[in-house]
Amino acid sequence: MLSKNQIKEIQSLQSKKFRDKHQLFIIEGIKSVSETLEFRSKDIEHIYGTELFLNSHAKILKKTAQNFSLITEDELKKISSQNNPNNVLALCRYFEEEQDVFNLNSHFSFYLDDIRDPGNLGTIIRLADWFGVSTLYCSENSCDLYNPKVIQASMGAFLRVQLVYAPLSEIIQQKSVKAVYGALLKGKNIYKESLENGLIIIGNEANGINDENLKYVNKPMKIPAHNTNSTESLNAAMAASILAAEFFRTLKN
């Protein structure tokens, strides 16, 4: 049975302050936890699972020598932030910083300029995984990778996509990035330009691309719309989806 203190400690990891303090984050649900067991089992600190989870994962739990607590569904509800928790919650240690070897002159990636919505960030991580973008770049004010809603929305893709938080100017310099794309109202139709590998800036949900970063955009572009009615817009994750697909189609497919 979980003690009140244990429950409180796990709940505290909903906040970045306590995640940073303990260097731990939460992974929920059978799919994400199973994949973590498969690909990064050494990073798992503890698994809290129901009987159903235990029965289907006993072998791998034993093989990877996990710390495991059998809990009831009611207990899971207490430690989960989800309305319908799915049989398991794992505490995972912060990933060690990997060396960033991604080459922005032979593959495209995104620079997320103050993306604040965890659902958007998680979705973009999943998108990156789909299109083989193994490193994503984020401004330092962007949403925290370890936010439980990011982990949840990424559907396991956080295990395969590296996130680097740094100022845009630094990335451009370190990586000798030539093409810096930004979606702007006065940009050129993406379907009429020949696209190159480089960095695509996705602006903040409410304010778009920061002025500070706008000056680095040397390839302004736009996704053509049916009408030019200015009330229409696409959200950050949708724009990123369409752009990733188009870069992938023309450069990699």
223 binds a copy of itself (CB under 8 A): yes
Contact call for residue 252 and a copy of itself (CB under 8 A):
yes
245 binds a copy of itself (CB under 8 A): yes
User: C-alpha distances in angstroms, 250 versus 28, 195, 218?
Assistant: 36, 7, 19
Q: Where are the alpha helices (DSSP H) in the chain?
A: 4-12, 16-22, 30-39, 51-63, 73-79, 118-130, 148-154, 168-174, 211-214, 236-251
Residue 102 or 248 with smaller CB distance to a copy of itself: 248
Q: Tokens 């903040």, residue?
A: 204
Alpha-carbon distances, residue 58 vs 33, 72, 73 (angstroms): 13, 17, 18
Q: Which is nearer to a copy of itself, 67 or 189 (CB)?
A: 189
55 vs 227, beta carbon nearer a copy of itself: 227
Alpha-carbon torsion 164, 168, 171, 172, what sign? positive
Residue length of the chain: 253
Taking CB under 8 A as the binding criterion, the range among 44-52, 75-83, 154-162, 165-173 that sits at the site for a copy of itself is 154-162
**Candidate segments 18-26, 50-58, 125-133, 211-219, binder of a copy of itself by CB under 8 A:** 125-133
15 sits near a copy of itself (criterion: CB under 8 A): no
- List 80, 123, 152, 213, residue binding a copy of itself (CB under 8 A): 123
Q: Does 193 bind a copy of itself (CB under 8 A)?
A: no
